[in-house]
Structure 1
């Protein structure tokens, strides 16, 4: 019996042999039946245990080989002479332990499913200090819509309706004077999953203000966001994109990131909606922050803009999501 077991190469043969051996053991005289059955069960456990360990060792070898091939190094945040602070991007590597656990649960069947984990960069935005941000990392396949709100209430509803229909969350930067009169509208916007940001208080040219003037404009709106809307805000978009280093430094001291844009719809000039869609389709790329306002042009163009962004293989997220180094977790097969 021992010689026969050594020659078996798969679990089906083991099962067949075990079944036959059990039959023979049951047919044996009672005095010999129990020892015979015990010997059969012990032999089967020995062979199947050896096979299982062999499968495990081979699976581990394959996973480690794939992990070596598929590792993507993280990208550090950096300061670009044109785009200023460019966020970092998490690296990616196969989580060998989690992948092995999944393989065991699936009985080591091929193809193996690879579980990934993210590796944060050594340098993030926090290490760059007071710097404006114009874009997300160019490796991140995501874009964001940023809506600066100081007027145009009549176009907010159709914009929100389109975002709702398309399942998109945007970032709304609220002017303080507008927010003081429309806190309930702002709360409703946030209740739909959108993000809020600070757009100063009275739409002044921030570069012309001294330190105290910058602080007053930002902090007054911040108080409205915190007290009136209930938001713990982290973003500041200077009106008209006008700022000085003092503006950025003051925002930084208030624990706010200064946000500009990569692509401007220039919708305040009332362009044809189709021209906005064409512009977005031609210029949108991974990490793009798209500036718009509640205008008739952007309201009518919004659905086409979203379709154009998605046609480039890009997801849509909030500004915070786009400038974050995080990436979507992946589960892949070794056959991919």
Structure 2
């Protein structure tokens, strides 16, 4: 087909008409025969577009693009603009309130209210809500704080570990709450703040337990390493201890919640598109995306709990590495 097309183009590029077949050179006759043969094989080559049709098509492109941009182009996938909503309160005051900030405030208030209602009248024989809250606190105390730090240091740092666990969990589950529909941990700000809190506590606990110089010496010049190896080991320890730990805490939580939110929005936006904009037989795809949305919702609950647990566990582990004598 490419040989036929090249011959047709060569034949069409000659502006001189051919009034008589006998006056045409043999090479030109071969081109004409190739042209007619290619047109018989490819019907779409029989009537090439005129210049007027091409001009009309080119002039129509901006209009088509504008209609697509205004919503006439069909399904629009979610983007990062989901995470940068407009300010609707106190704009320009330094205390701007947008949708993300509102979700954080509501999650914090609901968490505090729930804990207050559950524990304000604590009894020796707990009720259902009190039992659930006590089981959650016992899990954090025994499995995370005591498991990583031991009983003495676990009791010291239990308030921090519990605050991180329940705070992150409350902020994570807002991604599946109707009308909120976004985890405020999907933006890097809140995970970064919590990672910096862990970072400061980690360094402060190490300095308090060992002294400033002894702490830095233990972190940067590990015992048992040959002195010539410090040329390689010390830069690695600097990056690992003072850079990689807070960065890993921040990015792990942020990206997990960001991807989860995008998957949920994609599934439910596709469901709306297939049901209400396309319709017909394509609604069957909407059923599939709806089922996928509910499946990802259940998975997002698991991820919310798991990420809160991992963050609290790593925070306890980093503190333990700072206060331990040999590590």
Same fold (TM over 0.5): no
What's the TM-score once normalised by structure 2's chain length? 0.23
TM-score (norm 1): 0.22
Computing the radius of gyration from Cα coordinates, the structure with the larger value is: 2
Higher relative contact order (CA 8 A, sep 6+): 1
Q: Comparing both structures, which one devotes a greater share of its residues to strand?
A: 1
More helix by percentage? 2
